[in-house]
Chain A
Amino acid sequence: MIDNNNNPRIVVTGMGWITPLGHDLQTVWEKLASGTSGVAPIERFDARTFPTKFAAQVRDYDFTKYLKDPSVHEHAAANTQFALGAARQAWDQAGLDNHHDLDLRRVGLYLGAGEGALNFASYSKTDLSGWDAANDKTDSVKWAKAAFEYMDKHEEIGQESNMPISHIAREFGIRGPAFNCLTACAASTQAIGEAVDMLRRGDVDVMISGGTHTMIHVLGVTGFNRLTALSTRSGEPKKASRPFDRTRDGFVMGEGGGIVVLESLDHAIARGAKPIAEIIGYGSTADAFRITDMHPQGRGPAAAISQALEQAGIDPFAVDDSGRPPIQYISAHGTGTQENDSIETKAIKSVFGDNAKKIPVSSIKSMMGHLIAAAGVVELITCILAIKHQTLPPTINLNDPDPDLDLDYVPNKSRPAKLDVCLSNSFGFGGQNDTLIVKRID
């Protein structure tokens, strides 16, 4: 079966995630639909004196229960652990183990995974041991001696951001093309878009795609605190992530991983798999504007949204007989920084014109925090679950609307809606903008 561009139609047949709100589709969806926050004080390290003392952590997660032989993955870093659990869920939902003719050379991987979490204790010990204060520089001989003493070989090797795909490939025996991209907060959306392209070309039969990341470690929080990108509303962590609210003061870090199984509709039908949703559009652009700021008019994000709509054959200005716009929900990048939410709103309005105000837009980062590289995939999965449940997930903590932001942000409470086509945005620090459009399939 082909789409309006003469390409094979690409569908999702499996999904899985490990998130701060839980470790399976149903639990997490219920929390999203009930507007539950996963944000709490940071327990990973003692952050009590940090400007930001809270985050949305994955809790009580044991990745070994998802593995055939956990000893193979003994040294997997946290991000790899998230990815392995999410991949197993998605693989099982897609029923790939039941498919005995599956040619593993035609199964590919494309993740947008972040680097591993840095062990700050061994790192700082090494750096300080090597520091020659008298000369204000590192004595690399002393540094090396300390490094070999304090640092753990496996932890350091596990930092490379291609480790999640290497581990997943090993766990499932995958031999097809394997990619990892790391375009900051846009990574997993971009990974899925490119995975779809590889399927459309017929280079592969099945793609395992998504992303995984944690930056909830000392240098991660330090880095974002120095950028003043994080909320510092420490008195009320659960209310800190407030995208589109006038008083929003930055994003809240989350962590986790999400995986989708993608294949052509024909391939899914032929092997008796049940398609869950169809990916009908993908757009990808670069701001090419500034290192630190988004283009004030949202030039790049608007172009990415427009590209995705064009690929999907959707006229943004159209309405159906009941006056309904062609996109019925936008899962916003919606980080909760002043800049992002304002520019994303501008970009949506510039693309959809009069239709913009008819399209509900929400940010689940208000509940789950920002999963950085993995944000895009969990938001895409959320779109698919929203279609399944015909329910819009809310933006919580939106009590003081920003007068300049005048879209329907689904404040605080989920609500029923007739959903067929949803759009998900991800914009990275560094100017990568990616958009996916997903459609109901019956």
Chain B
Amino acid sequence: MSRRVVITGVGPVTAFGIGIDPLWEAMLAGRSAIKRIEIFDPSGFPCKIAGELNSDLLNIRKIVPKSHRKAIKVMCRDIELAVAAASAAVDDAGLITKATDAEAEPTYAVERMGCHIGAGLIAADVDELSAALYYSATGEDKTDLDLTHWGESGMENLTPLWLLKYLPNMLSCHVTIIHDCQGPTNTITCAEASGGLSICESMRVIQRGASDACLSGAIESKLNPMAFLRQHFAGRLAETSDGDDPTKVVRPFAPDAIGTAIGEGGGIVILEELESAQKRNASVYAEIAGFAATQSQCPDATGLCGDEDGQGISDAIDLALERANLKAKDIDAIAPFGCGIKAVDQSEAAAIRRVFGERAANVPLITTIPNVGNTNAGAFGVTIAVAAKAIGEQKLPARINTTGAEGIDANEAPAGDAQLNNVVATCTGQGGQNVAIVLRKI
């Protein structure tokens, strides 16, 4: 029998703020944080809205311990959000780490703590890079780059550690330093599937005995012109006009879905081996009862739109159920990706219908993207936090924005009490990687 693993802490970071409380409160009330982008003027883009985390909700200096504070200057946005998520998760689980108390004995020996934080393709800050490039600008309107000058001296206008801000493994690098995790650490970069695949990896690491606890999840912010542009190029974003109500734009599984909106953040959860968690009387959200990953065969090689028949997704769910020793009939709720991109929604809906058959219309979905936006690599980090919280509270959050969905239980509905013993969370990423995780109440 392999080692059993439970979630003992959740640390989502979303436009509602840091940690589960502001997110859960908003999910119960059915609020959306999606609004017109403020950090830059989005008028030049077809999509003008996002789930943006306002600066008053994140004070990074307060979160980072003094010993690491100098490193804040080499933290890009994604790193800051990951550091915030990790601290929220550690606090929620009641773990003692170097960050919570540098003098005390940590809950887990540092060599036994792993860290798996998925990340996206981090775009360099446009202002920072442009300011440096401008020193080497040439041409009448100064829009051409003189490469000779750049090589000679222009590049010196970039801070020496510039590259280190944008490597995806820097999320876990900072987090492992702050909390002193010296066990296996990895950075999965599979777009929206990253968080779920990171949890799969933490599970394997704990089960093979290489660690006893892991920080696990994923974080991303594509809220900068470059990453935002790439999402437009990928055809994923809803086109919006100034008169639209931004909170109503993302409508997963709706016949009139028009695309998604990005959000900032994601989530990190604390996974602990069951006996160790019990020994310290940790409060447990849920057990990870099964997990599986698959690859879709997509019409195009970049896997932008998922497979039409949802086979890859349903394979993942089937496998995760099988490994959890459960049948589809045992599942009380589904937390899908639910991003509001029509082709992706169709793929997910087809998978849900295939797995759940006649019951598909009666298994409630838990959707989060209408509320916080698609946090891209971070997406599953939000999903898993909300699904775990729902099990802990025995409540389904409200669903918003969608009407007219048929064959699956995706239409808007208020929050309410529910008996949730088993919940499956799933995600399909840009690129065709899929993941499914079964959570069981314990």
Contact = CB atoms under 8 A, between A and B. Distances in A.
Contact of B144 (A125, A182, A190, A227): A125
List of 4 A-B pairs having minimum Cβ-Cβ separation, nearest first: A144-B44, A223-B163, A49-B151, A177-B293
B183 interface: yes
B188 interface: yes
Interface string A287-306: 11111100000011001000
Nearest to A115: B121
A61 B90 CA distance: 49
B167 A143 contact: no
Interface in B113-131: 115, 119-121, 124, 126-127, 129-131
B186 A169 contact: no
A431 interface: yes
Given A129-B143, A286-B176, A182 B134 contact: no
A227 B143 contact: no
Interface in B169-217: 169-170, 172-174, 176-177, 179-191, 197, 200-201, 204, 207-208, 210
A291 B170 CA distance: 8
Interface in B370-414: none
Contacts of A292: 161, 164
8 contacts: A72-B301, A142-B44, A148-B229, A159-B230, A169-B432, A175-B294, A178-B433, A227-B161
A324 interface: no
A385 interface: no
A181 B176 contact: no
B298 interface: yes
Interface stretch (B16-24, B35-43, B325-333, B340-348): B35-43
A177 to B, nearest CB: 4
Contacts of A131: 130-131, 133-134, 137, 142
A177 B183 contact: no
Chain A contact-residue range equals 35 or more
A195 to B, nearest CB: 11
A165 B294 CA distance: 12
Given A131-B131, A143-B44, A179-B190, A166 B315 contact: no
A46 B152 CA distance: 12
Given A127-B133, A178-B293, A292-B164, A286 B433 contact: no
Nearest to A128: B143
Interface string A40-58: 0000011111110000000
Contacts of B234: 157
Contacts of B119: 182
A1 interface: no
B380 to A, nearest CB: 14
Interface of B: 40-45, 71, 74, 110-111, 115, 119-121, 124, 126-127, 129-131, 133-134, 137, 142-145, 147-152, 155-156, 158-164, 167-170, 172-174, 176-177, 179-191, 197, 200-201, 204, 207-208, 210, 225-226, 229-230, 233-234, 292-298, 300-304, 311-312, 315, 429-433
A406 interface: no
Q: Of residues A141, A182, A286, which shows the largest number of chain B Cβ atoms within 10 Å of its Cβ?
A: A286
Nearest to B75: A291
Given A179-B197, A292-B161, A138 B44 contact: no
Nearest to B134: A131
B183 A291 contact: no
Given A124-B145, A226-B159, A176 B295 contact: yes
Contact of B188 (A179, A219, A288): A179
A201 to B, nearest CB: 7
Contacts of B173: 291, 430-431
A92 interface: no
Interface string A179-209: 1111110000010001001101100000000
A284 B187 CA distance: 13
Contact of B145 (A76, A128, A158): A128
A144 B225 contact: yes
B330 to A, nearest CB: 22
A127 B43 CA distance: 17
A291 B74 CA distance: 9
B229 A158 contact: no
B121 A161 contact: yes
B294 A176 contact: yes
Contacts of A148: 229
A84 B423 CA distance: 38
Contacts of B137: 128, 131
Contacts of B160: 226-228
A65 interface: no
Nearest to A197: B204
A144 B185 CA distance: 37
A239 to B, nearest CB: 22
A47 B230 CA distance: 28
Nearest to B41: A140
Contact of B191 (A45, A160, A184): A160
Nearest to A167: B301
A430 B161 CA distance: 12
A222 B182 contact: no
Nearest to B39: A140
B145 A46 contact: no
Nearest to A142: B44
A227 B186 contact: no
B186 A190 contact: yes
Nearest to A289: B177
A138 B225 contact: yes
A174 interface: yes
B163 A227 contact: yes
A156 B229 contact: yes
Given A48-B151, A162-B190, A285-B183, A157 B230 contact: yes
Contact of A141 (B41, B131, B149, B170): B41
A348 B159 CA distance: 34
Q: Of residues B74, B137, B145, which shows the largest number of chain A Cβ atoms within 10 Å of its Cβ?
A: B145
A134 to B, nearest CB: 12
A432 interface: yes
B151 A184 contact: no
Contacts of B42: 140
Given A45-B147, A125-B145, A156-B229, A170 B133 contact: no
Nearest to B433: A178
Nearest to A144: B44
Nearest to B157: A226
A271 interface: no
A174 B301 CA distance: 12
Given A165-B431, A190-B186, 12 more contacts: A72-B300, A133-B142, A138-B130, A143-B225, A144-B45, A167-B302, A181-B186, A197-B204, A197-B208, A201-B207, A284-B184, A432-B186
A175 B315 contact: yes
Contact of B210 (A109, A182, A284): A284
Contacts of B150: 49, 218, 222
B432 A128 contact: no
B431 A163 contact: yes
A170 B204 contact: no
Nearest to B137: A128
Given A143-B225, A179-B433, A182-B187, A169 B295 contact: yes
